[in-house]
Amino acid sequence: MTEHGAVHWNELNTRNVSKAKEFYKKTLGWSYDDMPMGGGMPGTYTIIKSGDKKVKDAGGMVIRDPFDVANVGRIAIIRDSNGAAQGWMTPAPGSM
């Protein structure tokens, strides 16, 4: 079973990487390891290490408070400080 609050996978495309990193550092306690994309592709790929904090304290907003989805889990819809909307989920026991 996945630990409560763990991110399974996320691909975030943003025009302001440093602002996005700061938001998630403040909200979730994330830290980052950057590496080259590899395979001859330009750019940087970031591996994220996570912790646990609050969305509003970092300039984001809760669009929809956490709600339960049967056999899926508990989901909240948020908007980060860049304006990107996303769902944060805690999986239901046995669903992953």
pLDDT in tens, 4-20: 666 666 677 888 989 98
Residue 80: count other Cβ atoms within 10 Å of its Cβ. 20
Six-digit token string for 39: 């395979």
Domain positions in the chain: 17-91
Q: pTM for the complete prediction?
A: 0.51
What integer pLDDT is reported at residue 19 of this predicted model? 92
* Contact call for residues 13 and 48 (beta carbons, < 8 A): no
Of 85, 14, 87, 82, nearest to 44 by C-alpha is 14
pLDDT in tens, 33-85: 787 877 788 888 776 766 555 777 778 888 888 888 888 888 888 888 888 88
